Structure 1
Amino acid sequence: MSKISQQLLSGTSKAAGAPAALALEDGAVFYGTACAAAGEAFGEICFNTSLEGYLEVATDPSYAGQIITMTYPQIGNYGVNPEDAQSAAPALRGLVVRDMCTTPSNWRSKLSLHEFLRQHNVVAIEGVDTRALVRHVRDHGAQRAIISTLDLSKESLLAKVRASESLVGQNLAATVSCSKPFTHGIVDLPESHAFAQAPAPAPRFKVVAYDCGVKRSILDGLVRAGCDVTCVPWDTPAERVLQQAPDGVFLSNGPGDPEAVEGTYSQVEKLLGKVPVFGICLGHQMMCKAAGADIEKLKFGHRGGNHPVMNLRTRRVEITAQNHGFGLLFPSLGPLVPELSGGFKGHEDDLRFWVRAGIAPVVQNERFGRIQLTHVNLNDGTAEGIAFLDIPAFSVQYHPEANPGPTDAHYLFTAFARLMEGREDYLDIDIAADRLAGWKFGAEGACEEACNA
């Protein structure tokens, strides 16, 4: 910490933390101060561009094995309410912020973020130039990293991080999945969210969800779409799932390398065509792997609440919440069907070609017939969603539950319900009409109820 920073800090109520360091395997080192638990943490460095939702990010099981850098400069200013957590405990390895707020102010706050992290033994560092760090990761790619409050030697830190285990090849989904089945229904919805969300409808569908690291808000979203959910471990045999006679199967988000989660995608291959299936994030990759597709590791991934995605079927653009470091290589699903792809016969590496052409292309997959590209990332032209045309199944790479993030993609829960109803137009939904479904904002008395809570 600089002398000027020390002088400024001495005039506030915030105590100075112990020295800490962050080292990346390519030799970059950043210094700051500890702002949570003491110790050392190893993981893959990544960054999230969300302006809020730090608790939801910290407790998202998809971050298992990773050190998260928050790009917004001050984190923790509205505190922590445990009912907003996405899992029982944080799964991330460490947290990097520019400034950690230790005196939060919010009517729902129960404790500060740094206290929450300390309770769960999460190592965090503040005072880092996060703009410089994010630029470095963006230019040089995701890589192994270490946060330490015990060792500040550059040489020692680099030796440790270069000897640490890579995220690639690890089955991290197995580390965050449930150990036995459990149910999630109306009684499990957070009571403290009632000021903003309308009561859930009575369940109409019986859904089995593969828990590869599922977020609580995703299960809540399924319940609010009329589903009674039973979660099962990541490697549950397909035969056992089908014995429950579900109306649909949901494939959850999750962490790590999809190639290593063979225990899930081998079962998904047996489920496709037998029951309606909806997958998100890692669940999307599991469906792609079941169809024989190739998955690539992205340079630095997509993480944040501001990623623009176009639905090629409706031509509507969604601002989406994302958290993944791997993605589908759409051409690997099969050759194009020209008569269903605007007459085009050759694949394009940048899928924004199809955005400009106004076409949702279709390939012929050797395992499951015709598969349509439905969603494309407008930032980098990568695949964000597919729909199987000959069986009832679809998936997206991003998150529809908006915790944290925008509600543009809420319609995907509605789409899953429509798929289980057997509707062919299940994805053709006006997101402008659906994005606030179930919310009480603007309803008479909603503001007064919130203020009096």
Structure 2
Amino acid sequence: MSEISERLLAGTSKPARGRAVLALEDGAVFEGTAAGAEGEVFGEICFNTSLEGYLEVITDPSYAGQIITMTYPQIGNYGVNPDDCQSDAPALRGLVVRDMCATPSNWRSAMSLPDFLARHGVVAAEGIDTRALVRHIRDHGAQRAVLSTTDADAASLVAKARASESIVGVNLAATVSRAEPAAFTAADLPESQRFALADPAAPRYKVVAYDCGAKRSILENLVRVGCDVTAVPWDTPAEEVLALNPDGVFLSNGPGDPEAVEGTYRQVEQLLGKVPVFGICLGHQMISKACGAVIEKLKFGHRGGNQPVMNLRTGRVEITAQNHGFGLVFPSLGPLVPELSAGFRGHEDDLRFWAKAKCAPVVANERFGRIQLTHVNLNDGTAEGIACLDIPAFSVQYHPEASPGPTDAHYLFTAFTRLMDGRDDYLDIDIATDRLGGWRFAEDAGAEGSVA
């Protein structure tokens, strides 16, 4: 930066800071300036395409082990409200943005994002060409990276990135789970959100939630549809869960490689068929692993709030929020059942085939009987949801709590309550109606309509 530039910045609300350099293991290097805590961190580089909700992204425990790049150019403009945090502290390794706002403007803001990052020791960089970086990740895939404010030597940083640990094979869920069981009820819902969200339903269901890095808003949504939730550590034995006599078991989201979270999916093997089970994201992968499926690492994953997913049972398309780098290989669950798959006998690698065929195919699984493919990603044809037809269990790869993101998939929490009620049609819900449920503006609109 030139002397003139430094003098101009010194007189603004955003004075110049030191250098920050991001280096990838394939040799790509991107330069910017520090925007959070000072230091040097290692992780898998990834990107999120959400236009808002940066705080929810940054505090999502599923980002443990990763350096996040936000594709939206300005981050931090409405500041930070602690009630919107998804965990007690950020679990990500680092943050990369194009422009970091140091002077937020919003009535709910309690502090600026740079101050929040510095307070929690999160190394961050701004001024990086995030468009070029994201194009590079899309072309070359997610990979190991280092973000440093203490070392500006490109060759040194590339060598460090190549020597760093991969997230493959590492149980990151254990690092963000809770240590002891804890109740989560209506008393734990943020008071500051009542201006927008309606009061929760009266509790009718007793749910045990495996916390593999659960986002707070997921537990809140379970409470809002009438669940008394007991959150338990990621490796809680199945017999201890069943001893609580729950109406249902929930499997949460979480970070990293599902193959390494054996302590959870081995318990799920013992729970399936004994109690209704619902899984989200890593929880979806835990059910898949319990059924003997193969999980693959995606090239650059799905992270953002604009992923189109088709519900094959209803034909409705949902715009969904997602955050994952691994996915289910649906054919690995078993051979197709032709009479339940529109007569088709062979598997398709691109699952968008089933959207065109207007069919939700069913396989014969050796462990748990018939399993149906319920949801498909319309961008790349990967599996987004399954339902066990002979036992009460279903799961989705995406995030229906929508924090951040659209509320199209909110119906899945309602579906879980219907599954616990013993209904076979639990997934067949009008999302256009359910997505408005729980919002005060929807209640106000209904009241105005009744007066008219």
TM-score band w.r.t. shorter chain: over 0.9
- How large is the RMSD of aligned CA atoms in angstroms? 1.3
What is the aligned partner in structure 2 of residue 330 from structure 1?
330
Report the 3-state secondary structure (helix = DSSP H, G, I; strand = E; otherwise coil) of the residue aligned with 1:69: strand
Q: How far off its partner does 1:445 sit?
A: 9.8
* Residues 177-223 of structure 1 deviation map (CA, whole Å, 9 limit, x = unaligned): 00010010000000000000111111000000000000000000000
* 1:260 and 2:273 aligned: no
1:244-267 CA-partner distances (Å, limit 9, x unpaired) = 110000000000000000000000
Mapping of residues 285-300 of structure 1, within 5 Å? 285-300=285-300
Specify every segment of 5 or more residues in structure 1 that has no aligned partner in the other structure, as ranges: 447-453
Superposed CA deviations along residues 133-184 of structure 1, whole A, max 9, x for unmatched, are 0000000000000110000001111111111100100000000000010010
- Tell me the equivalent position of 1:126: 126
Query: Partners in 2 of 1:250 and 1:11 — Cα distance?
Result: 53
Q: How far off its partner does 1:5 sit?
A: 6.4
Deviation at 1:13, TM superposition (A): 2.1
Instruction: Tell me the residue number matched to 2:92.
Output: 92
Distance of 2:280 and 2:445 partners within structure 1: 35
1:308 partner amino acid: P
Specify the code of the residue in structure 2 equivalent to 1:103. T
For 2:248 and 2:2, the matched residues in 1 are separated by: 57
Counterpart of 1:35 in structure 2 is 35
Instruction: State the AA in 2 paired with 1:232.
Output: V
Distance 1:40 1:445 in 2: 51
Matched residue type, 1:22: L
- Which residue pairs with 2:449 in the alignment? none
Gaps in structure 2 of 5+ consecutive residues: 447-452
TM-score, normalised via structure 2 length? 0.97
SS in 2 for 1:343: coil
- Going from structure 1 to structure 2, the CA distance change for 1:7 and 1:74 (only over 3 Å counts) comes to farther
Go from structure 1 to structure 2 and tell me whether the alpha carbon gap of 1:443 and 1:11 turns closer, same or farther (over 3 Å shift).
farther
The residue that corresponds to 2:150 in the other structure is 150
Secondary structure (helix, strand or coil) at the match of 1:286 reads helix
SS of 2:332's partner is helix
TM-score by length of 1: 0.97
SS of structure 1 residue aligned to 2:83: helix
Asked if the contact 2:436–2:442 (Cα under 8 Å) also holds between the matched residues in 1, the reply is no
**Partner of 1:230 in structure 2?**
230
Partner of 1:421: 421
Q: How many residues are treated as equivalent by the alignment?
A: 446
Q: Tell me if 1:15 matches 2:9.
A: no
Distance 1:171 1:44 in 2: 14
Aligned to 1:49: 49
Q: Could you give the per-residue CA deviations for residues 303-357 of structure 1, whole angstroms, max 9, x where no partner exists?
A: 0000000000010000000000000000000000000000000000000000000
The whole-number CA distance in structure 2 between the counterparts of 1:87 and 1:420 is 28
Q: 1:103 to 1:247 in 2, by over 3 A?
A: same
- The 1-side partners of 2:175 and 2:214 are apart by 12
Q: Deviations over 1:376-418 (max 9, x none)?
A: 0000000000000000000000001010000000000000000
Aligned pairs for 1:394-433 (under 5 A) are: 394-433=394-433
The 3 A distance-change label for structure 1 pair 233 and 118 is same
C-alpha distance after superposition, 1:74-102 (max 9, x if no partner)? 00000000000000000000000000000
The corresponding residue for 2:141 is 141
> Structure 2 CA distance, aligned partners of 1:150 and 1:38?
7
Contact 2:45–2:142 (Cα < 8 Å) also in 1: yes
CA distance in 2, matches of 1:335, 1:188: 45
Please state how far the C-alpha of 1:225 moved relative to its aligned partner.
0.8
**Matches of 2:406 and 2:170, distance apart in 1:** 31
Distance 2:402 2:419 in 1: 21
Give distance in 2, aligned partners of 1:445 and 1:142: 45
Q: Following the alignment from structure 1 to structure 2, what is the Cα–Cα distance between the partners of residues 75 and 316?
A: 32
- 1:451 is matched with none
Match of 1:114 in 2: 114
- DSSP 3-state at the match of 1:375: strand
Deviations 1:48-90, CA, capped at 9 Å, x for gaps? 0000101100100000000000000000000000000000000
Return the alpha-carbon distance in structure 2 between the equivalents of residues 80 and 4 of structure 1.
32
* 2:336–2:361 CA contact under 8 A, matched in 1: yes
| Partner secondary structure for residue 222 of structure 1 | helix
For residues 100-121 of structure 1, the C-alpha deviation after alignment (integer angstroms, 9 at most, x for no partner) is 0000000000000010000000
Is the counterpart of residue 202 in structure 1 residue 202 in structure 2? yes
Q: Which amino acid aligns with 1:344?
A: F
Q: Following TM superposition, by how much is the alpha carbon of 1:442 offset from its aligned partner in structure 2, in angstroms?
A: 4.8
